[in-house]
Structure 1
């Protein structure tokens, strides 16, 4: 693992261990409903070829911004930060690519990959 990955691990582990989950993707719908995907847990992967095993949560927010539904399920995924960058979820491995397309609007897998693998800059 390179120095960037180690820094990302330290920063992500610190964020995820906080009391509040880290939102990595937000979708807004025409009825003013918002769905947030959050990173609930992040650890080194036990599966060869992947860097992290993560647990994802989902919360639906109403028009007032308050949680109207909190999914109590624990949704798991595996993330590969290296080449090729990917997210394994639901029994399939999805390539996420490193560069975001300016035409792409809401790709939760790429957002998850960034939250886990990208080193924040200030």
Structure 2
């Protein structure tokens, strides 16, 4: 198993700054590309650790009235966030109870991403 305790994955400020950069650019980013920006190769343990950091960032930002940023990190296969996001803080906060894939999920993710883009491009 990969040790991520000393990894840039756990650096909330660094991960948040990369997410804000993506939001300002109006772009989502895949899990593997995000890990590569941190100088890491993709692995499932690293992805799960990243999801924990993303959830914390959304919790902290939600407390400041910011839109979610974790929604910008998506699977390469379908451009949607992974299970960790759907089960995480943001989706739970809005009471999401539908499927994690398909057109309804895609529409929801598109709205969430657009909110992040607008917020960070305006400020």
TM range (shorter): under 0.3
Bigger RCO of structures 1 and 2 (CA < 8 A, at least 6 apart): 2
Considering fraction of residues, name the structure with more helix.
2
Q: Taking structure 2 as the reference length, what is the TM-score of the superposition? A: 0.25
The structure with the largest alpha-carbon Rg is: 1
Considering fraction of residues, name the structure with more strand.
1
